[in-house]
Amino acid sequence: MTSQIERSDSHMMTIQQVAKEAGVSVATVSRVINKHPSVSLKTRLKVEEVIKRLNYEPNILGRNLRRAQSRMVLVLVPSISNPFYAKIVQGIEDVARKYEYNILLGTTDSDVEREKVYLDLLKRRLCDGVISMDPAVDLSPLVGDDEQYPVIQCCEYSETLDIPYVSIDNLAAAYKAVKHLITMGHRKIALINSDERFLYARLRKEGYLKALAEFEIPCREEWIINTELGFEGGQQAMRSLLAQKERPTAIFAVSDTIAIGALKAIKEEGLKVPKDIAVVGFDNIPFSNMMNPTLTTVSQPMYEIGKRAAKMLIQKIDDPTQPIENLLLDHELIIRESTMG
């Protein structure tokens, strides 16, 4: 019973009691809690020992209010159904927690009204910054002349807005993927793309066209299909290609989810991959290595992208005036059974 009372009392400890027990001022205890560099090592260790012994828990909410900070980072994704975002979010969260931030994950479904609600959180100071992975979100109101908010673009980015971003070279990655198919002997290569309103879709198409042009392979418009980003979109697009009088012998899909949908449609037709049709995806989501056949794909460093985006945002929060360089990380073509079986 005594230990329960002691535990109960410990949660009601005040910063004044900690200061008295440690023989220092309340301001010194506050500086130790906030990791201020002006406190000597000896004093810091002494105060930290008292905090631990008394089981003192600082009033985080009060502290953040005094700092005018929420210690909350908003992360916007178009959908949580796409596995591509999971590793990125994990990278963001790991860095955020290291710097004592929490993340609020918002799924926008590319809905304008929902986007406004989320971005309003930043304007009302209910979060300290935003990492946006949704290409449909209009970030321009956050970077007007009146006020600059801490914002980082992740994966997808706008070329016209002066907002730092972290991504990969989508054009070069797509070029490499299509060149691989060409070197495997394919000249009838189709592209299953997503919505070309988005920069990544335009850049990956450009990489596809660049590879064809380099090897003097004519581009056939009927073999370029735009579809929804997902398994069903890939399935439907592949069915359209298979219904054509002349079929392609290889597919470059701009995402693994589209590519996996295409694999299903090819199997439904009784065709073999890669014997009849080779397939290359993009992203290297975990499912890509679990398919039968396993999927050749462009690997993005998803976890590292998330980590870098979080570090860039925290840097922007800490010093809004400091310029932050855009970052393009390396990619890798992972060759598997869907092109080499």
Looking at residue 31, which CATH number applies to its domain?
A: 1.10.260.40
* The pLDDT of residue 61: 47
Question: End of a domain among 58, 85, 106?
Answer: 58
Residues 215 and 235 in one domain: yes
Of 38, 58, 78, the residue that ends a domain is: 58
Domain-located, residue 312:
yes
Q: Which of 36, 58, 80 is the last residue of a domain?
A: 58
For residues 182 and 284, membership in a common domain is answered with: yes
143 - beta bridge partners?
148
- Give the strand order in the sheet containing 151-154: 102-107, 72-77, 129-132, 151-154, 165-168, 327-329
State the CB neighbour count (10 A cutoff) for residue 14. 12
Q: In terms of domains, do 198 and 295 share one?
A: yes
Residues 162, 183, single domain; the answer is no
Helix (H, G, I), strand (E, B) or coil at 24: coil
Based on the domain organization, do 176 and 295 belong to the same domain? yes
- The DSSP H or E segment spanning 305 is helix 302-318
My answer on whether 20 and 99 are in the same domain is no
What is the count of structural domains for the chain? 3
Which pLDDT score, from 0 to 100, does residue 245 have?
93
Q: pLDDT means per 10 residues in the chain (341 residues)?
A: 38 76 86 78 90 76 53 91 91 93 89 85 88 88 75 91 94 98 97 94 97 97 95 97 96 97 97 97 94 96 97 90 91 96 65
Residue pair 305/154 in contact by the 8 Å Cβ criterion: yes
Residues 53 and 92 occupy one common structural domain: no
Full domain range(s) for residue 52: 2-58
Own/partner contacts of 242-245, CB < 8 Å, gap of 24 or more, are 242/266, 242/269, 242/271
Contacts of 227 (CB under 8 A, 6+ apart): 192, 193, 194, 233, 234, 236, 237, 258
181 and 267 fall within a common domain:
yes
* Whole-angstrom distance, CA of residue 155 vs CA of residue 133: 6
Reported pTM: 0.78
User: In this structure, is residue 63 part of a structural domain?
Assistant: no
Instruction: Say if residue 145 is in the same domain as residue 206.
Output: no
**pLDDT at 66 (0 to 100):** 45
The pLDDT, as a whole number, for residue 58 is 66
In the prediction, which pLDDT does 12 show?
53
- How far apart, in Å, do the first and last CA atoms of the chain sit? 69
194 falls within a domain: yes
For residues 154 and 166, the answer to whether their CB atoms sit within 8 Å is yes
Q: Is residue 31 part of a domain?
A: yes
Same domain for 275 and 325, yes or no, is: no
85 and 41 within one domain: no
Shared domain check, 289 and 182: yes
Q: At 147, which CATH number?
A: 3.40.50.2300
Neighbours of 284 (CB within 10 A): 24
